[in-house]
Structure 1
């Protein structure tokens, strides 16, 4: 699916959100309904939430930060999520496709499209139902590997 000029504009706003992130791999996200930004956020070191949206993770991902805000404000319209990862050395966009855990949480919301950055400043736009998450975050892998080391293989 092709990205429009407005998709690029919203991705640029997500990029500005990513600049605020204290995390090594800086991600930003904006939620858009009817051409208007309804929430924005970035990844951070929060590891627990009473709403249950932050699970077993080393950080709160940008898209989860935004969805938590939508939940608190009871925002339920069909939304597009724009997710961008910012390079640490310049303003280049890097791969920010949602991880498996975030994708599963998105299923509880009314997500129409996911627009995310790939390496070399490329934007990918896909319908939520057509997206196939393929990776687990490095933090999640570290947690799993640590548990395996502590408890051994069964």
Structure 2
């Protein structure tokens, strides 16, 4: 019978353990596969443009109330918060410059004939969730445009 010294036994056990762990690693890789991308990558979201904004949108201003905004191709708009009897009507002009929506707004309250304005807003809008547009003004107001009707 052949007797091996302690060093040979240590090397043999180490080699056996390395082969065993390598086999386990290969088996795990075969069982757990990461999903592979199928098809072409998603296109980037569109850039904010006048063509995208024109139409009727449901919108929220600071999540206070739901409203409707009509954005016209001539650069004007009109909006009402809180439904048709919401009180104040906001109207003004709009344009997209350098990917930012610029609004010049006046307000009119038909109940008391109050008028005020103009107020200028710059709304930085994210197109990541288009057709839901989420943005914020330079004053920190959150603006959400959703459910467009063209």
TM-score band, normalised by the shorter chain?
A: under 0.3
TM-score for both structures, normalised by structure 2: 0.27
Please identify which structure carries the higher helix content: 1
Please identify which structure carries the higher strand content: 2
